[in-house]
């Protein structure tokens, strides 16, 4: 992958690889590095680029483009997504050729002008719009929120290639370019979905409906190997990963518990009794040491979330905040919430977690409860009532 690679007649990969990458966006660990995939397509009349690369690889990228086509002969650039790992070389490219026409979504058009302080000629594309390069056609499919609001897919129908931006990608830097030449990277593929795509499952399902019936020979994402072994299987995998939670006709509540001495756990158990007395199905997860995927799955199935937290050093303890941070990585089924917990010296955690839930657009179904040390019989009865109040909110009762 250190050189230009032809992937179809007059279609080339000229991206960059980054095997040393250990953390992507200073957020997501990458065990096997990553790639910044970019492409060039030569038609009889026009030459198009599909995306660029991350800024530090600009000169490598421009050298590769120039090795195929003089920079001043590039006609257009498709920006599938404006994030800097895709558009990092755009500013320098336009300095070398200010006449390049840029095709992107309306959202991307706005973003580009805020990211890059250079004059540019942009065109916002519509669903299904096509550009004829001369014997090769670019067809645009809008795919908002995969994973930014600006995302589009670009289809090259003559070669049956879908340039899918971040969708179907993986942070995995292979020695060779294609998936059928690479070792198993399914764990990286799934991890990428979980941390990048999972919050937008409903949008993914909408995008999949546009591509699942296409006859595809290859899917070319922005990161990781190019997918030619079985494009249909790749789409099917995303369809499974993005499936909506199953419906069983019941309301579901999730209780997340952290209880070093058992008092907060007992309060949560009382809330559970109140919920179950009204027919609500309840799942309970202890936050300390819990698998993030398990919490994500439960959040996606939950119509209500109850957080049972102690106060330690005037705050909710780290496992609680770690669990709550996962809410922004999924789309919860519902956003009814409640918070309770025991404390010793002070009881700030309940209020702090309530504020966090409200900030995440949860509606609190009951005032928070916090009791010092061991809750008494009346306290436990109040916890049962909280469960009943959450159930009433789920059932639409006043």
Residue 226 in 3-state DSSP? strand
The mean predicted confidence, pLDDT, of the chain is 94
Ordered domains of the chain (ranges, CATH): 5-241 (3.60.15.10), 252-390 (3.40.50.360)
Indicate the helix (H) or strand (E) that contains 101.
strand 101-104
The answer to which of 6-10, 13-17, 193-197, 263-267 has the lowest mean pLDDT is 193-197
pLDDT of residue 22: 76
Regarding predicted confidence, which is higher, 90 or 23? 90
Regarding predicted confidence, which is higher, 380 or 26? 380
How much of the chain exceeds pLDDT 70, in percent?
98
pLDDT of residue 30: 80
Mean pLDDT of 254-281: 96
Measured in degrees and rounded to the nearest 5, phi and psi for residue 67 equal -70, -20
> Cα–Cα distance between 302 and 309 in angstroms, integer?
18
Question: Given pLDDT bands bounded at 50, 70 and 90, which one contains residue 351?
Answer: very high
pLDDT of residue 1: 42
Mean pLDDT of 189-202: 92
Mean pLDDT of 291-302: 93
pLDDT higher than 90, residue 134: yes
Reference 80, options 180, 223, 185, 208; nearest CA is 223
pLDDT of residue 25: 63
At 39-70, the pLDDT tens digits run: 999 999 999 999 999 999 999 999 999 999 99
Question: Given pLDDT bands bounded at 50, 70 and 90, which one contains residue 26?
Answer: low
Mean pLDDT of 154-177: 96
Full-model pTM: 0.88
The answer to which of 2-16, 20-34, 246-260 has the lowest mean pLDDT is 20-34
At 97-122, the pLDDT tens digits run: 999 999 999 999 999 989 988 999 99
pLDDT higher than 90, residue 398: no
Q: How far is CA 283 from the centre of its chain?
A: 25
pLDDT higher than 50, residue 245: yes
> Cα–Cα distance between 132 and 315 in angstroms, integer?
60
Secondary structure tally for the chain: helices H, strands E: 12, 22
């Amino acid at each position: 992958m250190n050189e230009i690679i032809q992937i179809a007649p007059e279609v080339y990969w000229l991206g960059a690889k980054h095997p040393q990458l250990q953390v992507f966006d200073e957020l997501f660990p990458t065990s096997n590095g990553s790639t910044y995939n970019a492409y060039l397509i030569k038609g009889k009349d026009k030459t198009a680029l599909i995306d660029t690369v991350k800024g530090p690889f600009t000169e490598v990228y421009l050298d590769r483009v120039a090795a195929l086509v003089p920079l001043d002969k590039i006609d257009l650039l498709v920006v599938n997504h404006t994030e800097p790992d895709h558009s990092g070389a755009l500013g320098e490219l336009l300095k070398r050729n200010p006449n390049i026409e840029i095709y992107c979504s309306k959202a991307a058009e706005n973003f580009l002008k805020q990211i890059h302080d250079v004059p540019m000629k942009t065109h916002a594309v519509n669903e299904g719009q096509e550009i004829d390069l001369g014997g090769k056609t670019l067809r645009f499919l809008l795919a908002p929120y995969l994973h930014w609001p600006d995302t589009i897919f670009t289809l090259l129908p003559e070669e049956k290639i879908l340039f899918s931006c971040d969708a179907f990608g993986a942070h995995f830097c292979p020695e060779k370019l294609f998936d059928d030449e690479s070792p198993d990277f399914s764990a990286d593929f799934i991890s990428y979905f979980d941390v990048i795509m999972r919050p937008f499952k409903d949008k993914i399902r909408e995008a999949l409906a546009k591509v699942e019936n296409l006859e595809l020979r290859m899917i070319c994402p922005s990161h990781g190997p190019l997918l030619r072994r079985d494009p249909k299987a790749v789409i099917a995998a995303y369809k499974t990963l993005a499936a909506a939670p199953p419906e069983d006709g019941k309301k579901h509540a999730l209780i997340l518990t952290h209880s070093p001495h058992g008092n907060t756990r007992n309060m949560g158990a009382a809330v559970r009794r109140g919920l179950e007395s009204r027919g609500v199905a309840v799942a309970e997860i202890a936050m300390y040491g819990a698998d993030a995927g398990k919490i994500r799955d439960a959040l996606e199935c939950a119509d209500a979330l109850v957080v049972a937290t102690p106060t330690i050093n005037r705050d909710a303890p780290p496992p609680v905040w770690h669990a709550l941070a996962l809410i922004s990585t999924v789309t919860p089924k519902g956003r009814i919430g409640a918070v309770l917990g025991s404390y010793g010296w002070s009881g700030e955690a309940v209020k702090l977690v309530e504020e966090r839930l409200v900030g995440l657009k949860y509606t609190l179904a009951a005032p928070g409860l916090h009791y010092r040390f061991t809750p008494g019989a009346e306290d436990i009865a109040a916890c049962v009532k909280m469960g009943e109040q959450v159930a009433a909110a789920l059932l639409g009762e006043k």
